[in-house]
Amino acid sequence: MVLPDDLLMEAKTLAMRRKTTLKAIIEAALRREIRLFTEQENPDPSRFEVRPFGILRIRKTSGSPSTTVAQARAVQEALENEELERVSHPQPR
């Protein structure tokens, strides 16, 4: 893994201040990011269920028409656009 020098220096400085290791800082940051992602809200509980790792799955109801590939792609594209927007414009913490 290659990290920008300035980010690595900040992480090392934080580790020293907290009297911990760089590995612990990186692990905590990854766990926090993954937790935020997996706690994603369900945009429409009547149509979707949230699976492990925050993956949305379209609910299948009896008598309902099957989901087409085009519909699945549209949902995937919408989610990717939302994620791109989130990454491009992070919210202050």
User: pTM for the whole thing?
Assistant: 0.43
Residue 39 structure tokens: 């706690």
> What residue spans define the domains of the chain?
1-39, 42-93
CB 71 within 8 A of CB 78: no
4-25: pLDDT as tens digits: 999 999 999 999 999 999 999 9
Tell me the C-alpha distance between 37 and 33, whole Å: 6
46-59: pLDDT as tens digits: 888 877 766 778 77
Tell me the C-alpha distance between 74 and 62, whole Å: 22
Q: Where are any strands of DSSP class E within the chain?
A: 48-50, 56-58
Nearest alpha-carbon partner for 13 in 1, 4, 22: 22
